[in-house]
Structure 1
Amino acid sequence: MSESDAGGDDLSGLSGFFFYVFIVHPATAWILKPGRFERKKSITYAIGFLALLAAVKTGMEMQAKGPNHYSLLGVNRNSSPLDVKRAYKKLSLQLHPDKNPNDPLASAKFDRVKKAYDVLIDMEYREVYNKFGQPGIDSNKRFDETQFFMELGIFYVTWGIMAYVLTLGKRSGLGRQWTFTGLIVMLVIEITIMTSQGNPFPSWFMPQNTEYEIIWLLHTLFPAFMNGCRSIGGFLFVDLEAQTRQLLLALQEQNKDILLVLRDVQIGVQNIQANGGGGGANGRVAGSAPSGTQPRMTPTGKLKELQDRLQSSNSTVQQAVSQLKTEKSNSNFGFYAMILGYVAISYIFNNS
């Protein structure tokens, strides 16, 4: 299968988006569910699961695309036209239909080798192929700075909006930071690759892959990276507001219990005083003071003062609880808005 024929099998489009949203993210959330595994093990398992899934998915897509021109001829990006010519001659002798009469695909294989040779033997075509792949050769595309930055803006603005909507809510704050950091790093890498003159990579780095394929690889892995950031960031999130709310509610309940006990004690003291148990040695009521001296607070008065303070504290706690903002229940709306937005944008740009 040629590179141009593999577009329909590429999972990095709309189907890949739904695959990550409806399958990968719930599976990762299941692994990261509190109490299922130890904290460190949960993170390790989730990262391993996402890495394995991304590797399998990307490998299937690369296999569906088939070998590129360099792999087909057995040369690399730095091979000279003479090296390309030698490799082509060797393969053409092996794959020529006259030498493979029993192979029904011999003619197609030979044509693919000839097509790869025609591209790589011409240095101008090779540069176009390195930057834009086989679609760039088919459309005779050349690097245009205005068009490049326009297409770049559309792609990154689209994914930026999708990433923002997908990470709405305070639980996704950490994941949102990671996602946008990765998006910015990918943007810088892509601009560096596409605006550089010649081959920007060292000879040992993926020698048979083009700049076009490396950028495609980054774009393909980004949904997995975004979902990983979203899942792990949510798992590591600590809701300080909720913890504060729980502490205040617990304090409020404690105050209520103390107030109930104080009421019982106050009633008991009043009953003792009413039955004459509070009289002093001189017949004075407990708590009374001689004339001209500072009045002494009675036990009932002390309890009443303590009760008033607790009631004031309880009112303050209740006010603090009511002032704490709760998270708005807009996650479902954001989720469906993100789905509809992605479908609409994909349809518009795929049919423009």
Structure 2
Amino acid sequence: MSGQGGDDLDGLTGFFFYMFIVHPITAWILRPGRFERKKSIMYAIGFLAALAAVKTGMSMQAKGPNHYQLLGVTRDSNPLEIKRAYKKLSLSLHPDKNPSPTASDEFDAVKQAYDVLMDMEFREVYNKFGSDGINANKRFDETTFFMELGIFYLTWGMMAYVLTLGKKSGDARQWTFTGLIIMLVLEISIMTSQTNPLPSNLFPTWTEYEAVWLLHTLFPAFMNGCRSLGSYLYVDLEKQTRQLLLALQEQNKDILLVLRDVQICTQSIQANGVAAGGAPRVAGAPTATPLMGATPTGKIRELQERLQASNTQVNAAVKDIKFDGSGKSSSMGFYAMIIGYIAMSYLFK
């Protein structure tokens, strides 16, 4: 939802970082002819995954621990467990006993976490909207929620459409809007659920707010990854078809020219009585000495050579067209890869 994020790694700076730095570097890696096709994709995925891991870790560190992590409890902890954890921390972090220069701030943060988690109403607000929701005294309202949701996804939908315009971005547009729809469904499911749908054994301290925050920070990186790989995997069938037809047209011209030469040569032999080897058969008859290779046999051999050369071009064009059939499997592989691709960028606040 809107209102999330806010540190230096998020917002407009993060978005332009992906647009003007990450995307050009990925395009450089995927430039045709720089590496083999499979290696190019592997290098691009490796670069995106490494960058995503670094930026995600930095963003998590900048956000700091949430209230559950600060007290060392989980979402399922009862008030008694929370009180015990707070008492233990307050004794060790009290400014009278803690020599740290930030002892007062640390103690206040623990006290604030305790006050929020002990109040069930505040606890629910914190789970849904984070610390900003507590400070703004926010409450979950379906009308407000869906209005904010509509603004956020309408904004990103328009931006995704503009950034994926063009024939080469057809697959990227499909992947991007598929991800946007999946994110929308997940966010509605997470925010409208009465209980946190995240599995406690895997994410014991994660709140609904943090889950939605991660989805939102993932999408700009996901979109730019789709743009880079979609452009690289694009195959222009119309261009290849034109090239194939032109090659076939040139082949037909060569065949017709050689056949015409064979026809002229044959007619010359019949008219002048010249043997296949070029020697006159009748003494005193007009001599017609054909040039080397101008015999029907030579012309047929020439035709064969031209057909072989032309077939090489045709086969190359056909191979490129057939290669496009792997697009579906390539897109499936891309979807599998993008699950592990997490990066930080956030525009709408």
- TM-score normalised according to structure 1 size: 0.71
Matches within 5 A, 1:203-214: 203-214=200-211
CA-CA distance at 1:239 after TM superposition: 1.6
CA contact (8 A) 1:6 1:64 kept: no
Matches within 5 A, 1:163-312: 163-258=160-255, 277=272
Match of 1:49 in 2: 47
CA contact (8 A) 1:128 1:142 kept: yes
CA contact (8 A) 2:7 2:62 kept: no
Mapped pair 1:7 → 2:6: yes
Distance 1:243 1:45, change over 3 A: same
- Quote the Cα distance in structure 1 between the aligned partners of 2:7 and 2:176: 28
- Quote the Cα distance in structure 2 between the aligned partners of 1:195 and 1:48: 36
Distance 1:180 1:53, change over 3 A: same
Q: Report the 3-state secondary structure (helix = DSSP H, G, I; strand = E; otherwise coil) of the residue aligned with 1:225.
A: helix
Root mean square deviation, CA, Å? 2.5
Look up the equivalent residue of 1:7 and give its one-letter code: G
- Quote the Cα distance in structure 2 between the aligned partners of 1:178 and 1:244: 26
Matches within 5 A, 1:57-136: 57-100=55-98, 102-136=99-133
Distance 1:56 1:200, change over 3 A: same
CA-CA distance at 1:38 after TM superposition: 2.5
CA-CA distance at 1:120 after TM superposition: 0.7
Which runs of 5 or more residues in structure 2 are unaligned? 274-346
Runs of 4+ in structure 1 over 3 Å off: 252-270
Look up the equivalent residue of 1:14 and give its one-letter code: L
Match of 1:39 in 2: 37
- Quote the Cα distance in structure 2 between the aligned partners of 1:247 and 1:255: 12
CA contact (8 A) 1:32 1:46 kept: yes
CA contact (8 A) 1:58 1:221 kept: no
- In the alignment of these two chains, the number of paired residues is 274
Identify the range of structure 1 (113-122 vs 198-207) with the bigger mean alpha-carbon deviation: 198-207
Work out the percentage of aligned pairs sharing the same amino acid: 77
- Quote the Cα distance in structure 2 between the aligned partners of 1:121 and 1:103: 27
CA contact (8 A) 1:5 1:65 kept: no
CA contact (8 A) 1:163 1:179 kept: yes
Look up the equivalent residue of 1:34 and give its one-letter code: P
CA contact (8 A) 1:172 1:233 kept: yes
Relative contact order, higher structure (CA 8 A, sep 6+): 2
Q: Report the 3-state secondary structure (helix = DSSP H, G, I; strand = E; otherwise coil) of the residue aligned with 1:148.
A: helix
- Quote the Cα distance in structure 1 between the aligned partners of 2:149 and 2:91: 43
Look up the equivalent residue of 1:215 and give its one-letter code: V
- TM-score normalised according to structure 2 size: 0.72
Match of 1:294 in 2: none
- Quote the Cα distance in structure 2 between the aligned partners of 1:84 and 1:66: 19
Look up the equivalent residue of 2:228 and give its one-letter code: S
CA deviations over 1:328-347 (Å, ceiling 9, x no partner): xxxxxxxxxxxxxxxxxx6x
- Quote the Cα distance in structure 1 between the aligned partners of 2:203 and 2:259: 78
CA contact (8 A) 2:5 2:11 kept: no
CA contact (8 A) 1:58 1:220 kept: no
- Quote the Cα distance in structure 2 between the aligned partners of 1:256 and 1:154: 61
Distance 1:224 1:52, change over 3 A: same
Which runs of 5 or more residues in structure 1 are unaligned? 279-345
